[in-house]
C-alpha cells in the first residue's frame, strides 16, 4: 500500500495520518539521474522495501498545480508555468518549499529524495539542513541511461491526475487502455513530457546534473547504477549496489 505523504506534499501544518513506522536502520537516500531515467519508479519500490518515505519535489509542485488559482501566489504561478515548459524552478523557490518540510528528514522510516537536489546550491543547502537535523545520508544513487531510452520512457509515460500512479504505454500499460488501475481515473500525459519540454529538460540536465554528481563523489557516498533493463532488473541492481556500498563502508 502507498505510504501517506501528506506532510511532504502539503507542507505547513499538514501531518501524515499514519505516523511512519520507525526502523532500526532507516535508509536516507538521494536518487539522482536525468528526466525519465526511472527515479520515481525505483523510489516507489525502494519505499516498499525499506519503509522509507518517497520525497519528490516534482510531486510537491504538481500537487500545488492542482490547487485553485487563488490559492497560489503569483511567484508560484510563474514557477509552474516554467515547469510546464520544461524549465527548472529557482533555487530560492525550491529551497523555500524543502525547508518548510524539513521535519520529513527526521522521518523514523528514513526517506528517498527524488528530484532534489538538482543544483550544487541545492546540494549544499541539503547538507546544511540535514546537519541541522542531525541526520546523515546513507548514500546517493546516480542512475544513468542513454538519451534515446530516456526519450522513449518520457514520451510513453502516462500518469493518473487523481492518485499519481505512473504507467508506460509499452513497458507498463494499464489493464484498460487510458484508465488508471488503482482508481479508475482517465490517464494523462504530463505537460512537461511533450517533445519541446522534454528537449529542454534533457538540455538543462546535461549542465546541472554533473556538478551535483561530483559533489557527492567528493563526499564518497555516490553509488552509480545503470538504469538499463526492466524495472525489476534495475531494482535488483540497486539493492545489490546499496548492500555492497554498506559493506564497503563497514569494512
Place of cell 538504469: 227
Contacts of 76 (CB under 8 A, 6+ apart): 64, 93
Q: Residue 171 interacts with ligand AP5 (CB under 6 A)?
A: yes
Q: Residue 166 interacts with ligand AP5 (CB under 6 A)?
A: yes
| Contact assessment for residue 158 and residue 50, using Cβ atoms and an 8 Å cutoff | no
Q: Residue 101 interacts with ligand AP5 (CB under 6 A)?
A: no
Smallest gap from Cβ 247 to ligand AP5, in A, equals 25
Q: Residue 88 interacts with ligand AP5 (CB under 6 A)?
A: yes
Report residue 149: phi and psi, to 5°. -70, -35
Torsion, Cα 81 86 91 96, to 10 degrees, reads 50
Interacting positions 21-40 with ligand AP5 (CB under 6 A): 33, 35-40
Active site residue 237: no
Preceding omega of 73 cis (within 30 degrees of 0): no
Q: Residue 3 interacts with ligand AP5 (CB under 6 A)?
A: no
When the beta carbons of 32 and 107 are compared against ligand AP5, the nearer one is: 32
- How many residues belong to the site for ligand AP5 (CB under 6 A)? 32
Q: Residue 116 interacts with ligand AP5 (CB under 6 A)?
A: yes
Residue 220: all three cell numbers together:
564518497
**Annotated active-site residue in 5, 27, 39, 101:** 39
When the beta carbons of 28 and 201 are compared against ligand AP5, the nearer one is: 201
Active site residue 214: no
Instruction: Write each residue from 209 to 248 as x if it is in contact with ligand AP5 (CB under 6 A), else as -, in one continuous string.
Output: ---------------------xx--x--------------
Binding site for ligand AP5 (CB under 6 A): 33, 35-41, 56-58, 61, 83, 87-89, 94, 115-116, 118, 122, 153, 157, 166, 168, 171-172, 192, 201, 230-231, 234
Amino acid at each position: 500500500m502507498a505510504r501517506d505523504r501528506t506532510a511532504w506534499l502539503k507542507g505547513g501544518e499538514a501531518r501524515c495520518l499514519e505516523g511512519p513506522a520507525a526502523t532500526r536502520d532507516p535508509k536516507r537516500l538521494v536518487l539522482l539521474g536525468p528526466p525519465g531515467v526511472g527515479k520515481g519508479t525505483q523510489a516507489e519500490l525502494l519505499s516498499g522495501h525499506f519503509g522509507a518515505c518517497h520525497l519528490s519535489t516534482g510531486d510537491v509542485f504538481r500537487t500545488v498545480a492542482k490547487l485553485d488559482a487563488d490559492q497560489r501566489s503569483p511567484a508560484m504561478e510563474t514557477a509552474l508555468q516554467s515547469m510546464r515548459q520544461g524549465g527548472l524552478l529557482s533555487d530560492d523557490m525550491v529551497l523555500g518549499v524543502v525547508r518548510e518540510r524539513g521535519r520529513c528528514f527526521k522521518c523514523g522510516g528514513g526517506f528517498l529524495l527524488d528530484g532534489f537536489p538538482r543544483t550544487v546550491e541545492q546540494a549544499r543547502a541539503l547538507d546544511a539542513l540535514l546537519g541541522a537535523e542531525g541526520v546523515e545520508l546513507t548514500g546517493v544513487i546516480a542512475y544513468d541511461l542513454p538519451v534515446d531510452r530516456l526519450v522513449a520512457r518520457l514520451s510513453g509515460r502516462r500518469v493518473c491526475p487523481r492518485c499519481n500512479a505512473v504507467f508506460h504505454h509499452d513497458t507498463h500499460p494499464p489493464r484498460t487502455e487510458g484508465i488508471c488501475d488503482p482508481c479508475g481515473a482517465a490517464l494523462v500525459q504530463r505537460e512537461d513530457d511533450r517533445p519541446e519540454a522534454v528537449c529542454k529538460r534533457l538540455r538543462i540536465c546535461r549542465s546541472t546534473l554533473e556538478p551535483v554528481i561530483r559533489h557527492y563523489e567528493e563526499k564518497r557516498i555516490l553509488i552509480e547504477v545503470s538504469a538499463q533493463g526492466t524495472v525489476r532488473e534495475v531494482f535488483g541492481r540497486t539493492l545489490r549496489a546499496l548492500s555492497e556500498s554498506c559493506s564497503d563502508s563497514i569494512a
